[in-house]
Structure 1
Amino acid sequence: MKLSVKLFAGFVLISVLFTAVAIVNFRLSEAVVENTQWVSRSQIVVRNSAALQRNIIDMETGLRGYLLNGNETFLLPYLQAKDQLPGLIQETKTFVSSSPDQTRNINDIVALQQRFMHNYAEPLIQLKREDVTNTTSDAFETRLDELIMGEKIIIDSIRTAFKEFNAYEYKVREERRERLNKSINNTRQLSTILTILSVLLGLSWAYYITRLISNRIIKMVTLADQVSRGDYKTRIIDTSNDELSQLSHSLNRMSTTIDETFTELDAKNRELDQFAYVVSHDLKAPLRGIEVASRWVEEDMGGQLPAHVQEYLMMMRVRVHRMENLINGILALARIGRTSQAEEEVDVNQLLVEVVDMLSVPKNFKIDTQAHLPTLHTVRIQLQQVFSNLISNAIKYHDKETGLIAVRHHETENFHVFSVSDDGPGIDPAYHERIFVIFQTLQERDAMESTGVGLTIVKKIVEWQGGSIWVASEPGKGSTFTFTWPKEPRGDQ
C-alpha cells in the first residue's frame, strides 16, 4: 500500500470517528432537549394547575362572602376567576394533550368546575338575590342548605381531583427528570469515551505513520552517512513499494553510481601514480644527462671555451634545474590530499625555527616571529610547506639588500589565523588572484628563477585543510599573506 494511501486512510478513519461522535452527541442532545422541554412543560402545567385551583378557590371564597352579607362586591373574585378559567383550562389542556391520563384528569376537573358553577354557584347567587327582594321562608332556607352542602361536596371533589392531577404530574415529571439526568450522564460518558477513543486512535495512527516514516528516513540518513564515510557498497533494503521506496531505490542507485565512480577514480589515480613515476624517472634522467653532458664539454675543452659558450652552457644547466624543479612541483601539487599523512601535535614556534634553519636565511634578513604561537594537532609536513613557501618567496622576491619578515597569529572561533608580512616591493592588486594560479609569475623566469608552482601548492594545502588564503599588498608597501588553519583537525571535520 502506498504511503499516501495509508495517510489518507488514517485521516478518513479519524474523520469518520469524529463524525460518529458528532452524530451520537447530536442524538443524545436531542434526547436531553426533549426531556428538558418536557420538564419545562410539566412545570408550566403544575403552575397552571395551581392557578386553576386558586381561581376556583377564589370563586368559592367570593361566593361564600356574598352569601354571608349579600354584598355584590364580594362577587368580584368569583367573576374575575370565571373570566380567567377558560383560558387557563385551554392552555393546560394543550400542554397535557400528549398524556391521556392527564387529559382525562383535567377533563374531570373541568366537569366538576362546571357542575360547581351551574349546579351550585349560579343557583346560590340567584337564590341570594331573590332572598334580598323576597321574604325568607322555610323552603328557601332548606334549598339554601342543600345548595351549600352540595357546593362543599363538589369543592372537596375538585380539591381531590387537583391533588390527583398534581400528584400524577409530579410523578411523571420526576420520571422525566430522572430520564433527563440519565440522558445527560449517558451523553457525557459516551462523548468522553468516543473522544478518548478518537484521540487514542489519532495518536496511535500518528505514531505508526511517524515511526514508519522516521525509521525509513533514518535508514536513508544512515546510508548517506556511510557513503560520506567511504562505504559505497551499503544498500537500503525496502520492500514497501511506496513513495519512500522510490527514494530508497534512488539512493541505492546513487550509492552504486558513487561506488562505480570511485572505483574508476581509484583506477585513474593508480594510472596517475604510474604516470608520476614515469615523469619522475623518464623525464628527470634525460635532464640529468643534459646537465652531465654540459659539464663534460666544459671539462674536455678546459679553458679553450669562449666566454659566450660557457654562458650558454651555464644557462642550459640553469634551465635543466628549473625543469627538474618544475617537475617536482607538479608532482608535489598532484599528491596533495591523495596520500594519507598522520596528524600530530605541532609546536608552531619550533616549526618556524626549523623552517628558518632549512631556508638558510641571508644574514641581512630578519625573521620576526611572534612569541607563544599555538600548538596544533595537524599534519606537520603540510603546515611546514606553507610557511616554507611563504617565507622563501618573501626572501626571494625582496628588492632590497636588507629585509624584515614578520610572522603573526590570532584566533577566531573556528580558525587559527597566520600572516607572513614583508617590507618588499609589494604586489599590484590586479595580480592578487593571478599569483595563486599555477605557472604564473610576475617576473621573467630568466630574471628570477621560479617555477610558478609554490603559491599554488600553498593555496591547495590550505584549502584542503579547510582554510583560505589571501594577500594584502600595494606596490612599494610590502606584502602580507594571510591564511586560516582550522582548529578542528581535518579528520574530525
Structure 2
Amino acid sequence: MKSKIDPKIIVGLVLAVGILLLTAAASFWSIRGLGVQTRRVEHTYQVMQQVANVTAVLKDAQAGVRGYILTGDTAYLRPFSLATNELPNSLERLDKLTADNSTQQARLDSLRGLVEQEFRILRPLTQLTSSMSKSAMQTSLDTDRQTLRQVRSLYNRIQTQEMALLAQRSATQEVFAKATPIVVLVSAVLAVLIVVWLVVKIVQELADNRRLQSELADINAEVSLRIAQIRALAEQVVQGDYSVKITDTAEDNLGGLAASLNRMTQTLDASFSALEKRNQELDQFAYVASHDLKAPLRGVTTIVKWIEDELSEELSPKLRTYLDQMKGRLSRLEDLINGLLAYARVGRTAQTATQVDVGQLLREVAELVVPPDFTLRTSSDMPVFLTNRLGLQQVFTNLLSNAVKYHHRGAGQLEVSCRDTGRFYEFRVQDDGPGIAPEYHHKIFLLFQTLRDRHTAESTGIGLSIVQKIIDEHQGSIRVESAPGQGTGFIFTWPK
C-alpha cells in the first residue's frame, strides 16, 4: 500500500519555494539598487572633483603667468605648462562623465571655450617681448581676469547642479541602504518560519506514517492468522474431514468467508454422510446382485444343461437352437451383472500405492487375456513407479481383452508403448484390428455401447466405460485414434 503525501506539505513546499524566490528577487533588486545609487553618487563626486580640478589648474596657470610677468623668472611658467598638458585630458574625462546630462554638457562646452580663450590670452604673456606695450599687456590681464571670473561663475553653476544631483542620489541611496537589510531580514524570517512549519508537518506526517504502518502490520498479522485458519480448514476438507469449523465472528469479508466455509463444511458433512449411506446401500445391492441374482441364473443354466443331457435324444434341432440361444442370453446377463458390479465399485475401494513394474504387469495381464496366437510387443522403457497397481491392471486388462475380442482375424499384433510427459506417463495400446470409424469414437466409452452384435455374449459394452472411470478417478485422460482398416490405438495418461 503506497503512502500519500499530505497535500498541505506539497502546498507548503510550493509556497516556501515561491517566497524564497520572491525574497531572493527582492534582495537582488534592493542590493542592485543600492549599488546603482552608490555608483551614481560616486559619479557625481567625480564630476565635481574634475570641475574643481579644471578650475584650480586654470587658476594656477593664471597665477604663474602673472608671477612671470612681475619677476621675469621662467620658473613661474611651470603651472602654465602643466595646465597645457593636463586640462585637455580633464575636459575629455568631464565630457565622458556628463554624457548622460545634456545641461551639464552645454555648460561643459562653455567651459571648454573659456579655457581655450584663457590659453589664447595667457600664451602671449608667456613670451614677453619689447614690442608689447604696457597698455596691451594691461588689456590682456583685464581680459584674463574677466575670463577667469566667467570660469568661476560657470564652475559654481556646474557645482550647484551636481550638488542637487548628489542630494537626490544620496537620498535614494539612503532609501536603498535602509530597505536592503529590512528586505533581507524579512526574507530570512519568512524562510525560517516556512521551514519550521514544513519540518513540523513532515515530522507529523512521518509519525502518522509510522503509526499507520504499525496498524497495517497488526492488521496484516491478524489477516494472515485468519487466512491460515481458512487454509487449514481447506486442507482438512481436502483430507476428508468435513466436521472442522472456523471460530471467526468478525463482520468483514474474511468473517463472511469463514461463515460461508463453515456452512459449506456442514453441508459437505451432511452430503457425504448421506453419500456414505448410499454407498452402503449400493454395497448391499451389490451383495444381493452377486448372490441373489446370480443364484437363479446359475439354477436356470443348470436346468438347461440337464435338459440337454437327459433329453438329448428327444430334442429337435429347432429346440436345440432355442436352448443355445437361452444359454447365450443367460451368459450375457451374467456378464452384464458382473460388469455393472465392477463399474459401481470403481473408486469406492481403498487404493493402495505400491511399487509397480509396468513391464512385469503387462506380462501378467497378457498371460490372462492374450491368446497364444496373438503377439504382444512392449517397449523396453516401461517405467517403474509408485501407483495404484489394481487400477492400472484393470485398465490394461480391459484394453487388451477388447483388442483381442474385436479383432477380425484369428491372430493379431498388439503393442504397448510409453512416453514421459512430465507429471504423467502416456501409454498407448495399439492393435492391427478392423479399426473404428471416426463417428463412433465418442460413443465407445458410453455405458452399454458396443460395436458388436448385442446377442454376442462377450460384448456387454461396459469394459471401456470402466476404463474411462478408472482413469478419471486418477485425474488422467483417454482418447482413441483409429480409422477403418488401420487398427485402433487407445492413448491414456496416468499420473506419476
**Alignment TM-score, normalising by the size of structure 1:** 0.71
Matching residue of 1:48: 36
User: How far, CA to CA, are the matches of 2:173 and 2:381 in structure 1?
Assistant: 111
Q: Match of 2:237? A: 227
**Pairing 1:26-37 to 2, within 5 Å after superposition:** 26-29=14-17, 31-37=19-25
**1:256 and 1:216 mapped to 2: Cα distance?**
19
CA distance in 1, matches of 2:103, 2:446: 116
2:461 matched residue in structure 1: 452
* 1-structure distance, mates of 2:183, 2:443: 102
2-structure distance, mates of 1:26, 1:368: 85
Structure 1: stretches of 5+ with no match in the other structure = 1-9, 86-124, 488-493
Q: Which whole-Å deviations, capped at 9, do the CAs of 1:117-174 have from their partners, x for residues lacking one?
A: xxxxxxxx9xx99xx888869xx9xx99xx9xx99xx99x989999988886776577
Deviation at 1:393, TM superposition (A): 1.8
1:377 counterpart residue number: 386
Distance change (3 Å), C-alpha of 1:164 and 1:225: same
Where structure 2 has 5 or more consecutive residues not aligned to the other structure, the ranges are 60-86, 105-110, 119-141
Say yes or no: does 1:287 pair with 2:275.
Answer: no
Which of 434, 438, 441 does residue 425 from structure 1 map onto? 434
Cα shift at 1:176: 5.8
Residue 25 (1) aligns with residue 34 (2)? no
The residue identity in structure 1 corresponding to 2:451 is L
Which residue number corresponds to residue 412 of structure 2? 403
Q: Does structure 1 retain, via aligned residues, the 8 Å contact 2:31–2:180?
A: no
Matching of residue 481 in structure 1 with residue 469 in structure 2: no
> How far off its partner does 1:65 sit?
2.7
Q: Aligned ranges for residues 259-408 of structure 1 at < 5 Å?
A: 259-301=269-311, 303-359=313-369, 361-408=370-417
| Aligned residues of 2:31 and 2:176 also touching (Cα < 8 A) | no
Q: For 1:192 and 1:448, locate their aligned partners in 2 and report how far apart those are by CA, in whole Å.
A: 91
Q: Aligned letter for 2:241?
A: D
1:58 and 1:81 in contact (8 A); partners too: no
Alignment of 1:61-80 (within 5 A): 61-68=49-56, 69=58, 73=91
* Deviation of the 1:476 alpha carbon: 2.6
Find the residue that maps to 2:429 and give its secondary structure: strand
Q: Please report how far the alpha carbon of residue 47 of structure 1 lies from its aligned counterpart in structure 2 after TM superposition.
A: 0.8
Q: Secondary structure at the match of 2:454?
A: coil
Output the amino acid matched with 1:258.
L
- State how far apart, in whole Å, the 2-side matches of 1:175 and 1:83 are: 40
Q: Distance in 1 between matches of 2:172 and 2:435?
A: 122
Q: Distance in 2 between matches of 1:63 and 1:49?
A: 21
Q: Tell me by how many angstroms 1:240 deviates.
A: 3.0
Quote the Cα distance in structure 2 between the aligned partners of 1:408 and 1:163.
108
Structure 2 CA distance for partners of 1:80 and 1:180, relative to 1, 3 Å = farther
**Which residue identity does 2:353 align to in structure 1?**
E
SS in structure 2 at match of 1:436: coil
1:182 to 1:303, Cα distance in 2 relative to 1, 3 A: same
**Aligned 8 A contact 1:36 1:180 in 2:** no
Residues of 1 paired with 2:170 and 2:311: CA distance? Answer: 162
Residue 135 of structure 2 corresponds to: none
Cα gap change, 1:160 to 1:441, in 2 (>3 Å): closer
Task: Give me the whole-angstrom Cα distance separating, in 2, the residues matched to 1:419 and 1:77.
Answer: 113
Q: Decide whether the 8 Å contact of 1:28 with 1:187 is kept in 2.
A: no
Amino acid at match of 2:47: M
1:253 pairs with 245, 263, 271, which one? 263
Change (3 A) 1:169 1:443: closer
**Partner residue of 2:252?**
242
Q: Is the 8 A contact 1:322 1:449 kept in 2?
A: yes
Aligned-partner residue type, residue 28 of structure 1: A
Query: Counterpart of 2:376 in 1: which secondary structure?
Result: strand
Deviations 1:93-140 (A, max 9, x none): xxxxxxxxxxxxxxxxxxxxxxxxxxxxxxxx9xx99xx888869xx9
Normalization by structure 2: what TM-score? 0.71
Amino acid across the alignment from 1:427:
I
Task: Decide whether aligned partners of structure 1 residues 417 and 220 sit closer, same or farther in structure 2, where only a CA change above 3 A counts.
Answer: same
Could you tell me how far apart the structure 1 residues matched to 2:288 and 2:190 are?
102
Give the residue type in structure 1 aligned to 2:347: G
CA positional deviation for 1:280: 1.8
Q: Count residues with an aligned counterpart.
A: 424
Identity %: 36
Structure number with greater Rg is 2
